Amino acid sequence: MSSLSCIRAAIGRNRVRVAAALTLAAAACTQTPEATPDLAPQRAERGADRGSHLGRHFAERFPRRPRVAATAAAILPVVWTTPYGHGLTQAPRVHPERSVEGRELLYWVLGDGPETVLLLGGIHGDERSSAEAAYDLLAVAVADPAALAGITLVLAPEVNPDGNAARSRRNARDVDLNRNFPSRNWRGDSSAHGPGTHPASEPETRFVLALLRMHAPTRVIATHAAAACVNWDGPAEALAERMSRECGLPVEATIGYPTPGSLGSYLGVDLAVPTITFELATKEEVGAALDGVRRALLVGLLPDPENPPPALPFAGLSEPPAR
């Protein structure tokens, strides 16, 4: 083959390679929203003026598609990280009152639906899985607002931060918060179950009561461990059944022992608010059961068209005094 033929063959091969590369480049430019000016005619004109075969080829065959300008709103920064490593793009709200040891009492308000659900975790500090499950649901709700299915979710994943820090069931004043609610069956005649000096004596209990008063939820779910069941109080049996089908834990009308001053006694029994005590199977990491727990909690958030929300008395509640 002559030298001239070799040069022509090389040029032909290069044209094929260039065309293939340009095809890949053009395929990557697929976004069509607004609008940088299309400079393809200018490129074609400049290519023609210069007599550039490559310039004409690019401008005529692969005109530039408009690109979307990057905006700060398109990429939300992580502003808060949970103790379990979830990066959240929404910061918590801070309750005015702090825990006994001065820790912040944090909660999130997500969604804007007409029905409000309150979810509480970490009421007992030695039940680590209860806080983990609540934080996991928080991460799902922040990342995917559609998961809230048209409700407003108020979520306090760590009601007892002092107990969580000490891995203690009770708070820093040795009070069991789930025996400190102002229910009709509250008993202060025994320190064995840690009821406190009077109902709502603890800042953490008053924190929950403030959330009830401010947001008037139509149902309440509290995660606990490790009775391994879905316990219900008030008109919540059907809700417990639906949650049970997702996680495999049995439905129980009672935990099996008296719970004076509990959240379920106060809300479910006294005020007839649908209340679920979601008892996980282990106090430590949720582990392999996390998917089922997450599904059950998400089902717990869904509105029930067959049982419309009851009229609730929270608006009339006065703030308990801090004695």
Q: Which two tokens stand for residue 10?
A: 């090389």
- pLDDT at residue 107 greater than cutoff 50: yes
pLDDT tens for 120-134 read: 999 999 999 999 999
Q: What are the start-end ranges of the E strands in the chain?
A: 80-81, 87-88, 93-94, 106-110, 115-120, 151-156, 219-225, 229-233, 251-252, 275-280
The answer to whether residues 105 and 194 belong to one domain is: yes
Cα dihedral sign, 118-216-174-230: negative
How many domains is the chain built from? 2
Assess contact for 267 and 178: CB atoms under 8 A.
no
Burial of 192 (0-12, 13-18, 19+ CB in 10 A): exposed
Residue 319: its pLDDT value, please?
A: 60
Instruction: Answer whether residue 70 is part of any domain.
Output: no
Work out the mean pLDDT of the chain and round it to a whole number: 82
Range of the domain at 28: 3-61
Collapsed DSSP state (helix, strand, coil) of residue 229: strand
Tell me how many degrees the CA angle 111-112-114 measures, rounded to the nearest 5: 125
H helix and E strand count, the chain? 9, 10
The answer to whether residues 131 and 253 belong to one domain is: yes
HEC letters along 180-206: CCCCCCCCCCCCCCCCCCCCCCCHHHH
At 308, is the pLDDT very low, low, confident or very high (cuts 50, 70, 90)?
confident
Q: Which two tokens stand for residue 238?
A: 């059907």
Residue 320: its pLDDT value, please?
A: 57
Residue 34: its pLDDT value, please?
A: 43
The answer to whether residues 139 and 33 belong to one domain is: no
Residue 5: its pLDDT value, please?
A: 54
Q: What is the dihedral of CA 40, 45, 47, 50, to 10 degrees?
A: -160
At 220, is the pLDDT very low, low, confident or very high (cuts 50, 70, 90)?
very high
**pTM of full prediction above 0.95:** no
The arithmetic mean of pLDDT across residues 210-237, rounded, is 96
- pLDDT at residue 291 greater than cutoff 90: yes
Contacts of 73 (CB under 8 A, 6+ apart): none
pLDDT tens for 16-51 read: 454 444 444 444 444 444 444 444 444 444 444 444
The answer to whether residues 135 and 45 belong to one domain is: no
At 72, is the pLDDT very low, low, confident or very high (cuts 50, 70, 90)?
very low
- pLDDT at residue 227 greater than cutoff 50: yes
What count of other Cβ atoms lies within 10 Å of the Cβ of residue 221? 26
Instruction: Answer whether residue 68 is part of any domain.
Output: no
CATH number of the domain bearing residue 198: 3.40.630.10
pLDDT tens for 236-259 read: 999 999 999 999 999 999 999 999
The answer to whether residues 143 and 288 belong to one domain is: yes
- pLDDT at residue 309 greater than cutoff 90: no
Least confident of 3-17, 32-46, 158-172, 276-290: 32-46
- pLDDT at residue 191 greater than cutoff 80: no
Instruction: Answer whether residue 112 is part of any domain.
Output: yes
The answer to whether residues 194 and 306 belong to one domain is: yes
The answer to whether residues 43 and 184 belong to one domain is: no
CA distances to 101, 151, 192 from 97, rounded to whole Å, are 11, 27, 27
